[in-house]
Structures are given as structure tokens and as C-alpha cells.
């Protein structure tokens, strides 16, 4: 089974589990600024590494605000997020573990009750923008983290694929994606959800692989 087929199977299990809503979980701080403490984490993509971090556009805590990558800085509260693990959403696939998460915007460690997602109450489509939306109300703010290593089919070690619970296509599950262009472009490219891009050499697009780093930016 190819990596794309295995992630599609994971997405189907995710949907049957209700997208993770209502599951018990724990909160752990995650942010770019020192105020969040030594246990904070930063979210970045394989394409650009830790030089650019996931951030809220203009730092505005409002529903519908777009999400981008911006240059890493410990003075940028726009890069501050809290990760809520909702629990397991199905069995493991090979060495992969499948769990559901929400990513809440928390400038300077203050929870905004706004999470990474797509438009609420709508089925996400390829190219749908990733926005801040109210946490815990709709499956659009829930993500399945697909992690681990396959023999021959794999993400880069230490990187994950984030599957949107708002997808209804199991053949082409929608995953968190950095679009074309550089984070320094004007206007800043907005993150979207796109079908998984798996290549003939059995790897996944660097724009669709994400990792987490503990501690504030130094």
C-alpha cells in the first residue's frame, strides 16, 4: 500500500471517529515568545525549516483571520499557539500513530479560543484557506497528526502530515499545506488545505510536512 493510500485510510478512520471532537485531552503550551516558558513549541514546515514559523496574519485574534509563515522571532506573539491533544482517532498504521489535535492561537500565552481551521460548517475544498475559527465547535478546527516512518513510504523523519477533519474525500484527504512562493513575499502567501502530494520516489511534498520544536525562539 502506498503512503497516499495509507493516509487516505487514516482519513477514513478519522471521519468515523467524528473528527476528534468531544475526546478528552490535555493542553500543552506552544509558542515563540519566552512568556510561554520552556515547554513551548513552534510549528514549521520542511520546506523552510525553523527559520519561518506558523503565525497569525498581522497578529490579529479574530475569526476568519488568515494564517501564514513569518520569520521566526521571540518577539512575535503572532507565532504563539497552544496545542490541545484531543485523543486517539483510530488504530495505528504500521509505525504511524494517529491522534487528533487543535492548534489554538495564544498571543503571549493568553488563549484566544480561536483555532487553526477552515470555514466552520462547510466541507473544505482543495485550496480552502486556513483561518482562525472558534475552537471546539466544528470539526473544521480538528487535525489528525499522521506521524512515523514506513518502510519505503515515509515522511521525513521528525515531520508529520496534518489531515483536516473538514475533508470528505478519503481518496484525496486534504492536508495542511504551504502554497507556492516565499514567506517574505508581499502579500504573504496564506496557508491552505490541499490533497496530499506523494511523489514517484515515495516521498511527500516538503510543503505538507510539519514539525514542532520545544522552547521559545532563540
pLDDT of residue 107: 87
**Listed residue (106, 102, 107) closest to 84, CA to CA:** 102
What is d(CA 40, CA 72) in angstroms, rounded to the nearest whole number?
14
pLDDT of residue 45: 93
pLDDT of residue 203: 80
pLDDT of residue 137: 87
**Listed residue (64, 67, 89, 86) closest to 78, CA to CA:** 67
pLDDT of residue 90: 57
* Cβ atoms 204, 194 nearer than 8 A: no
Per-residue model confidence as pLDDT tens digits over 101-134:
899 998 888 889 999 999 998 889 999 999 999 9
pLDDT of residue 185: 93
DSSP 65-97: -BEEEEE--TT-GGG-EEEEEEEE-S--BTTBE
pTM of the model: 0.83
**All domains in the chain, ordered by first residue:** 3-210 (2.80.10.50)
pLDDT of residue 121: 84
The low-confidence residues of the chain, meaning pLDDT below 50, are 20-31, 92-93, 150-153
* HSE-up of residue 169 (Cα within 13 Å, Cβ side): 14
Amino acid at each position: 500500500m502506498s503512503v497516499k493510500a495509507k493516509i487516505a485510510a487514516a482519513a477514513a478512520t478519522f471521519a468515523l471517529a467524528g473528527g476528534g471532537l468531544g475526546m478528552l485531552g490535555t493542553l500543552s503550551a506552544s509558542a515563540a515568545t519566552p512568556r510561554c516558558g520552556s515547554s513551548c513549541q513552534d510549528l514549521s514546515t520542511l520546506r523552510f525549516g525553523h527559520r519561518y514559523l506558523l503565525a497569525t496574519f498581522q497578529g490579529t485574534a479574530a475569526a476568519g483571520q488568515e494564517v501564514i509563515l513569518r520569520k521566526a522571532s521571540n518577539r512575535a506573539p503572532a507565532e504563539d499557539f497552544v496545542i490541545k491533544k484531543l485523543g486517539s482517532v483510530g488504530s495505528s498504521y504500521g509505525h504511524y500513530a494517529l491522534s487528533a489535535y487543535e492548534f489554538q492561537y495564544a498571543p503571549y500565552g493568553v488563549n484566544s479560543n480561536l483555532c487553526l481551521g477552515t470555514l466552520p460548517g462547510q466541507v473544505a475544498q482543495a485550496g480552502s484557506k486556513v483561518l482562525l475559527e472558534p475552537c471546539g465547535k466544528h470539526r473544521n478546527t480538528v487535525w489528525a497528526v499522521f506521524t512515523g516512518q514506513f518502510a519505503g513510504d515515509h515522511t521525513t523523519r521528525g515531520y508529520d502530515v496534518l489531515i483536516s477533519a473538514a475533508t470528505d474525500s478519503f481518496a484525496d484527504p486534504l492536508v495542511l499545506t504551504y502554497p507556492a512562493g516565499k514567506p517574505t513575499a508581499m502579500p504573504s502567501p496564506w496557508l491552505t488545505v490541499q490533497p496530499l502530494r506523494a511523489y514517484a520516489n515515495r516521498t511527500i511534498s516538503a510543503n505538507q510536512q510539519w514539525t514542532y520544536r520545544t522552547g521559545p525562539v532563540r
